[in-house]
Amino acid sequence: MSKKATKSQSLTLKKIFRYFIQGVIILAPIGITAYVLYWLFEKVDGILRPAVYAIIGVDIPGIGFVIILLFVILVGWISSNFLMGSAITLFDQLMERTPGVKFIYSSTKDFFEAFAGDKKRFNKAVLANVFAEEVWIVGFLTDEEMKKFDMGADKVAVYVPQAYNFAGQLYILPRDKVRKIENISSGEAMKYAVTGGVVDLDAERDEQTKSELKTDRE
């Protein structure tokens, strides 16, 4: 085989490999997202679907998921009613005072409220100077009152999420070691942190702007 033919074959293999990598980059996020959503759907659906089948004798895919979804919406609607809201508040206080249950219940409740409830805590994105003078990490200011730990007003609590992981670390730092992030939202800062900084925030903003303009035209 001539050198020219060998070089041409090598270029073709490189091109095929490049196409393969490009395909993986496109399909992997779609596949992983679809799998996670399918897994979540199956887990939730499996909670009540067997019970529904036992009652009516018909296996309806998704019926358990729909029932649980409607139940969650119903609880949210009922809790907005004054009388039922008071009853839920009493139940909440009971759970808070029950030994053993209190830790699990209050921790879980505070976790969800920190993200989506009235007590949102991850809404103050900051840069924290932790390990070295010129090393900064993305975090969220969660507490500015450290008296409970016998620390002065110059200390604050900063939560730092870990990249590609549902975990993080809490640091108590001097105020002068923390800078507020002004140019991006808290949601963008969280996405930047948990993706290890690989997300292109400017590109995402451009795409969102284009999408909003397209929607307005329609």
Note the pLDDT of residue 215. 65
pLDDT tens digits for 138-150?
988 888 887 777 7
Q: Can you name the residues that pair with 180 across neighbouring β-strands?
A: 126
Give the pLDDT mean for 79-103.
69
Question: Where along the chain do its domains lie?
Answer: 125-207
pLDDT tens digits for 29-83?
778 878 888 888 888 888 888 888 788 887 888 888 888 888 888 877 776 666 5
Residue 196's region, left for phi above 0, alpha for psi from -120 to 50, else beta, is left
Please tell me which residue, 152 or 3, carries the higher pLDDT value: 152
Edge-to-edge strand order for the sheet containing 155-161?
168-174, 155-161, 136-143, 125-129, 178-180
User: Residue 186: pLDDT above 60?
Assistant: yes
Give the pLDDT mean for 114-135.
77
Note the pLDDT of residue 84. 60
Q: Tokens 């074959």 — which residue?
A: 9
Note the pLDDT of residue 119. 60
Report the percentage of the chain scoring pLDDT > 70. 79
